């Protein structure tokens, strides 16, 4: 096993004899002559490396990653625990620790896991200049490659935070990306294994990157079984970071998406025409199933799974503030064949806003949803709480949402005191041909329990399900044919 001093000497050899950051020369070489200072690395001015806090994907996948390198006993126990639950993880290792204990790095690779760059010494990059940042990353790459044969593709700092010089240096070194995370179970706060697992269960998300540390809290090892259960319960899969990236995509900037400007601020709204749609006039036994608001992956994924099991397409009216923090979940709705529409950004009672404030909120929601799903949403707006007046309706029409999507069937399922039986009975009693049924995708209510029974009950009565925009379009076509 390397001692820390021999590890440092090996790293210095890789640097060609320069100081730890190459900015000072030693006083003399073995022959007694002066040693020239190492050449300072100039800041790279090309395109910076990709920055990844999470991966854009609708797939039911996320990555488990670790920072640092604990002692041999901890690392061996962690590798064994990952093997027990069939998990392949990504380890961001500090170069100095790989030099000290290369056998641990070898065991990680033998377990089928990935090794990536956690910098050389896990220093605070905000306190270093470009030359120092470059060498911290490069030397870690060199050490990891020398000891394991692996060439790191991703780099992460100790905290996950970094200055802009880090993506520049990563690009300079030809690396794929600088990686942070979006799921932090706060194991550094010495959380218990159960608490770590509960946190992951709460925030598990498609494309998510879980970040934990191997050298701080020994409970990380025991937390693996809870994390595995949390992910399995929702039907997701833990994959390596590179697999997650390879299976994912990159989001286009908002301005490159057709329809991003379909909603615009328009102060001239006084004579705008609007339509309130509560139901569709039809003799066909067709209904539109709609969901409002937003929820966690666990709730929304279960709704999507139930709809898929029953081959039903729905319309989701999204609270865009929730979409902003979890765009992958909105994209999953679209990839499931459902329509996505606008339910405001901040979920206000629209009559509490001025028309100008309402337009700003709705345009912001439109842009957030468009960027999340990478396409224009269906141009329907549903006001939170279902309350709207003439002035606000005109403001909505002027901004680009002339159709205000209301509903004729509601069971107040957002109220946790309403049971699954209450929800089912309400829907079955009130639904008629052309109905627009309102349900919610909030956490901790009884909608998920009621949904399969609603779908089966309406199908037994001969109803079919149509997306709201499609049902409205069919009504318009039928009216045109009658003229």
| Domain spans in the chain, listed from the N-terminal domain onward | 50-247, 255-482
Judge whether 405 and 380 are in contact, CB under 8 Å: yes
Judge whether 172 and 166 are in contact, CB under 8 Å: no
Query: What are 51's strand-pairing partners?
Result: 178
Band the pLDDT of 286: cuts 50, 70, 90: very high
Average pLDDT over every residue of 327-332: 97
Say if residue 27's pLDDT is above 80: no
pLDDT tens column, 307-318? 999 999 999 999
The per-residue pLDDT for 6 is 57
Average pLDDT over every residue of 228-247: 97
The per-residue pLDDT for 28 is 44
Average pLDDT over every residue of 233-240: 97
Distance CA 239, CA 86 (A): 10
Pure H helices in 101-248: 102-110, 130-148, 165-172, 193-203, 219-234, 241-247
User: What value does the mean pLDDT of the chain take?
Assistant: 92
Say if residue 183's pLDDT is above 50: yes
Distance CA 88, CA 74 (A): 17
- Provide the CATH topology of domain 50-247: TIM Barrel (3.20.20)
Rg (CA), the chain: 28
Band the pLDDT of 7: cuts 50, 70, 90: low
Say if residue 23's pLDDT is above 50: no
Say if residue 26's pLDDT is above 50: no
pTM of the model: 0.89
The per-residue pLDDT for 39 is 84
The per-residue pLDDT for 477 is 61
Considering only CA atoms, which of 287, 314, 300, 258 is closest in space to residue 430? 287
The per-residue pLDDT for 325 is 94
Q: 196: which residues sit within 8 A by CB, 6+ positions away?
A: 185, 186, 187, 212, 219, 220, 223, 226, 227
Residue 476: enclosing H or E segment and its boundaries?
A: helix 468-482
Counting Cβ atoms within 10 Å, is residue 234 exposed (0-12), middle (13-18) or buried (19+)?
Answer: buried
Considering only CA atoms, which of 141, 173, 157, 154 is closest in space to residue 63? 154
Say if residue 93's pLDDT is above 90: yes
Q: Looking only at Cα atoms, what is the longest distance across the chain?
A: 102
The per-residue pLDDT for 474 is 77
- Which residue has better confidence, 1 or 174? 174
The three-point CA angle 39-43-48 to 5° equals 140
For the chain, the residue count is 483
Greatest mean pLDDT range, 6-10, 351-355, 475-479: 351-355
Distance CA 411, CA 388 (A): 20
3-class SS of residue 177 = strand
Alpha carbon of 99 to those of 20, 76, 153, 458: distances in Å?
15, 17, 18, 65
The per-residue pLDDT for 428 is 98
Write down the CATH superfamily of domain 255-482.
Glycoside hydrolase/deacetylase (3.20.20.370)
pLDDT tens column, 457-470? 999 999 999 999 99
Band the pLDDT of 21: cuts 50, 70, 90: very low
Say if residue 171's pLDDT is above 50: yes
Is 255-482 the same fold as 50-247? yes
pLDDT tens column, 394-450? 999 999 999 999 999 999 999 999 999 999 999 999 999 999 999 999 999 999 999
% of the chain at pLDDT higher than 90? 89
Alpha carbon of 413 to those of 287, 306, 420, 440, 455: distances in Å?
18, 17, 8, 7, 15
pLDDT tens column, 146-159? 999 999 999 999 99
The per-residue pLDDT for 303 is 98
Considering only CA atoms, which of 83, 87, 71 is closest in space to residue 241? 87
Q: What is the DSSP string of 257-274?
A: STTTTSS---S--TT---
Say if residue 29's pLDDT is above 50: no
Band the pLDDT of 10: cuts 50, 70, 90: low
pLDDT tens column, 34-85? 545 568 999 999 999 999 999 999 999 999 999 999 999 999 999 999 999 9
């Amino acid at each position: 096993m390397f001692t820390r001093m021999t590890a440092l000497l090996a790293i210095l050899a890789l640097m060609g004899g320069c100081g730890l950051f190459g900015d000072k020369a030693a006083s003399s070489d073995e022959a007694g002559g002066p040693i020239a200072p190492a050449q300072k690395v100039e800041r790279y001015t090309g395109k910076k490396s990709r920055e990844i806090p999470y991966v854009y994907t609708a797939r039911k996948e996320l990555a488990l990653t670790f920072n640092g390198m604990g002692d041999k006993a901890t690392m061996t126990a962690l590798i064994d625990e990952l093997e027990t639950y069939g998990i392949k993880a990504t380890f961001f290792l500090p170069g100095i620790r790989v030099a000290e204990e290369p056998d641990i790095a070898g065991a990680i690779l033998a377990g089928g896991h990935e090794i990536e760059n956690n910098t050389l010494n896990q220093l605070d990059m905000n306190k270093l200049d470009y030359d120092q940042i470059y060498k911290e990353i490069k030397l870690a790459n060199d050490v990891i490659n020398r000891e394991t044969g692996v060439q790191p593709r991703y780099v992460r700092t100790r905290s996950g935070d970094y200055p802009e010089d880090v993506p520049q240096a990563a690009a300079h070194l030809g690396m794929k990306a600088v990686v942070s995370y979006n799921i932090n179970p706060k194991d550094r706060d010495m959380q218990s294994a159960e608490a770590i697992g509960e946190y992951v269960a709460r925030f598990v998300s498609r494309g998510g990157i879980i970040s934990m540390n191997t050298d701080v809290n020994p409970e990380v090892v025991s937390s693996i079984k809870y994390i595995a259960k949390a992910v399995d319960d929702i039907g997701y899969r833990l994959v390596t970071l590179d697999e997650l990236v390879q299976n994912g995509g990159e989001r286009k900037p908002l301005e490159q998406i057709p329809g991003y400007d379909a909603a615009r601020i328009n102060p001239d709204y006084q004579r705008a025409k609007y339509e309130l749609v509560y139901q569709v006039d039809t003799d066909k036994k067709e209904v539109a199933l709609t969901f409002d608001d937003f929820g966690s992956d666990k709730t929304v994924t279960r709704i999507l799974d139930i709809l898929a099991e029953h081959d039903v397409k729905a319309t989701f009216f999204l609270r865009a503030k929730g979409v902003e923090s979890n765009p992958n979940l909105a994209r999953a709705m679209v990839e499931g064949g459902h329509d996505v529409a606008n339910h405001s950004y901040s979920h206000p009672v629209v009559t509490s806003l001025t028309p100008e404030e309402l337009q700003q909120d709705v345009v912001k929601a439109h842009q957030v949803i468009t960027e999340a799903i990478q396409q224009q949403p269906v141009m329907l707006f549903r006001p939170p709480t279902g309350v709207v007046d003439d002035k606000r309706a005109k403001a909505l029409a002027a901004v680009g949402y002339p159709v205000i999507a209301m509903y004729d069937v509601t069971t107040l399922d957002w109220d946790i005191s309403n049971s699954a039986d209450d929800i089912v009975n309400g829907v079955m009693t009130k639904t008629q041909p052309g109905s627009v049924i309102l349900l919610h995708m909030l956490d901790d209510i009884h909608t998920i329990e009621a949904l399969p029974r609603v779908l089966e009950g309406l199908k037994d009565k001969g109803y079919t399900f149509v997306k709201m925009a499609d049902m409205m379009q069919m009504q318009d076509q039928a009216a045109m044919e009658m003229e």
